[in-house]
Amino acid sequence: MTGTVAPSRHAGAAAGGELMYLWRPDRAQVASVQVATDKARTAALYRRPSKDFEDQAAHGRPSALHLARAVPLQGGMPIVHAGHIAGAVGVSGASSADEDQELSMRAAEAASAAARDGAPEGDGHAPAQPAVAQR
């Protein structure tokens, strides 16, 4: 990505698709708020980038346009932690759809890294060392 980035909206969704976080700069257009949210929800519910649906529709699978609660626009990316989808991020309103996609990829990677760095050793679900009773 080169040059300047237009004011964009970032939405974060939980693994079930519920909105958990929204950031909208003052100069951002209000309409992109829902689009970013829809992209995040798509990535969370379907456990794949929202761009997959755009690609399917563009390459001869128009039924991808009719999947329940799926938005076939790039810019939605799942957040993976310990091999599981922990949520998703959606970006809308950047200078281009490709920039929405790149920003969502960067945000999902950063969220995954933050979760990994803040998680206990092991797979993030249990302590790496067994607990030992103190006497």
Q: What is the pLDDT of residues 20-48, one digit of tens each?
A: 888 888 888 888 888 999 999 999 999 99
Flag whether 1 is in a domain: no
Q: What's the pTM?
A: 0.77
Over residues 13-21, the mean pLDDT reads 81
For residue 91, which phi and psi values (nearest 5 degrees)? -130, 135
Q: What element of type H or E holds 55?
A: helix 51-58
Q: What is the pLDDT of residues 81-131, one digit of tens each?
A: 999 999 999 999 888 999 999 999 999 999 999 988 876 554 444 333 333
Q: Are 116 and 124 in contact (CB under 8 A)?
A: yes
Kindly provide the residue ranges of all beta strands, DSSP E only, lying in 1-135, ordered along the sequence. 9-14, 19-23, 76-81, 84-92
Domain containing residue 47: 9-118
- Rg (C-alpha) for the chain, rounded Å, is 17
Total number of domains in the chain: 1
Task: Record the tokens describing residue 131, joined without a space.
Answer: 């607990």
Over residues 61-90, the mean pLDDT reads 92
Flag whether 71 is in a domain: yes
Flag whether 32 is in a domain: yes
Q: What element of type H or E holds 104?
A: helix 97-118
